[in-house]
Amino acid sequence: MSLILYDKNSGKPAFGRIVFVLCLTALLALELGISRMAMAQALQPLREEGGSPSDQGRVTIQGRQGDEEPLLDEPVGVLLDFKEEMRLFIQTISRYARGLKPEFVIIVEDGLELLTKVDVVDAEIVSPARAYTRSIDGIMEVGLFHGVPFFGQPHDDPKIQEVRLANTDRAHKESLPVLVLDKTDQTDQVNAGYKQSRQRGYIYSSIFNQEVQDSILPKYPARPFNENSTSILSLGSVKNFAIIGNPAVYGRQDEFALRMHKTNYDMLIVDVFLGGQPLKRQTVATLKYKQIGARRMVLARVNIGTAARYYYYWKRNWSSGSPLWIGAPMKRDPDRYFVEYWRPEWQRIITGDTQSLIYGLLAQGYDGVVLSDVDVYNVLESGGEPDLE
């Protein structure tokens, strides 16, 4: 195993820091009798300057890039808490957006595990992640009743489904609206999913596409469930929604906006790009009104765990490993790449200043965002590829 810690500024090996941290931790271990594993955890990069582990340097471990330093001869797992890093990232997005627009809505897609924290010593102790929960406004679970892991089918593992429902129920009890997006083209499954959602107090919709990024208006029902004439000014008033992952199906921006204007959904969730160009402010303004004239909410769907080479921020010389925080391409979409989402270089693209994507969405008049691809932490924890959309 190779282990080299580099200083983030000079790019040179930071041997002095290693020696200091080792000596300090060893003294603490002698005095307090902490275990060797606890020592390894204590050597995680510090946060006293308000930074993330990515601010402290990089570690090369067995030929791959990471951001933690296994200094002991223990069997080394991943010391970086990938779930916590995603929570912190989402909290950063929320803090920035709400600082500019307090009513800006943050919905997290497929990140149920983020709602709770498991004790590092006793895995039976599970506590709510309250700081994270209070930074978001709702959750959306794709394929809760039908469509995951297989399109048009109920979940094939009752135990996993039991856990998913327990987490969505927990969110609902925490006053977080729960949006359900099933993936099925079968009318009976749509009706069943809507019935189960209504019984639990969830908001239901469906798509007849395998991938959310290809979704368009559902074929069934022809008109939204719980269609109403009420103006929607907050997420708590939403009774139905539709998600449009591929607005180009409807033609130009004006054609897309007019087609959506002919519907009465309480909320539209849209991809912010059509033909490589962001939706104009006027387009977003048109989307905000139902056919009956009442106001509705328009949210943008934003990938924060993967980077796409067909989005505006992608530079010509970028590829897997260049820059270092861009990982491998996705198997089902080789033009999208996993990213080290805790890295400041990526986070600055998404949020934090007037050049960021979140600022652009605020300027275009969106009412909020749906943050997708947050469950990339599964890739880093298990080495497998999750069912990302």
Longest CA pairwise span in the chain (Å): 72
What is the per-residue pLDDT for 388?
52
The predicted model gives 198-214 an average pLDDT of 96
Least confident of 116-130, 255-269, 295-309, 366-380: 116-130
b/e burial code for range 324-336 (CB count within 10 A of at least 16 → b): ebbbebbeeeeeb
The predicted model gives 283-293 an average pLDDT of 97
List 107's β-bridge partners, or say none.
138, 370
Other residues' Cβ atoms within 10 Å of the Cβ of residue 43 = 19
What is the per-residue pLDDT for 175?
94
> Do 340 and 325 meet the contact criterion of CB atoms below 8 Å apart?
yes
Q: What is the DSSP letter of 102?
A: T
Rounded Cα distance, 159 and 199, in Å:
21
Q: Which residues, including other chains, have CB under 8 Å from residue 28's CB and lie 6 or more apart? A: 34, 42
Other residues' Cβ atoms within 10 Å of the Cβ of residue 140 = 27
Residue with tokens 């270089």: 345
> Do 51 and 88 meet the contact criterion of CB atoms below 8 Å apart?
no
The predicted model gives 21-34 an average pLDDT of 39
Q: How far is CA 341 from CA 52, 76, 233, 317, 345, in A?
A: 11, 22, 32, 20, 9
> Do 282 and 307 meet the contact criterion of CB atoms below 8 Å apart?
no
Enter the pTM of the model: 0.79
Q: Where are the alpha helices (DSSP H) in 213-324?
A: 253-261, 281-287
Q: Which of 350, 328, 324, 338 is nearest to 57 (CA)?
A: 324
Residue 337 has pLDDT above 70, yes or no: yes
- Ordered domains of the chain (ranges, CATH): 1-80 (no CATH), 82-382 (3.20.20)
The predicted model gives 170-189 an average pLDDT of 96
Q: Which pair of structure tokens corresponds to residue 297?
A: 């909410």
The predicted model gives 148-157 an average pLDDT of 93
What is the per-residue pLDDT for 8?
42
> Do 124 and 93 meet the contact criterion of CB atoms below 8 Å apart?
no
Residue 119's pLDDT band, with cuts at 50, 70 and 90, is confident
Residue 171's pLDDT band, with cuts at 50, 70 and 90, is very high
Residue 45 has pLDDT above 90, yes or no: no
46-95 pLDDT, tens digit per residue, is: 233 333 333 333 332 223 334 433 323 333 444 889 999 999 999 999 99
Q: How far is CA 344 from CA 52, 84, 302, 349, in A?
A: 8, 15, 17, 9
Spacing of C-alpha 332 from chain mean position? 18
Q: Which of 31, 45, 30, 42 is nearest to 72 (CA)?
A: 42
Higher-pLDDT residue of 378, 74: 378
Q: Where are the alpha helices (DSSP H) in 101-213?
A: 130-133, 158-173, 187-200
Across the chain, mean pLDDT equals: 83
Hey, what's the torsion of the CAs at 203, 208, 210, 214, to 10 degrees?
A: -90
What is the per-residue pLDDT for 384?
59
Residue 379 has pLDDT above 80, yes or no: yes
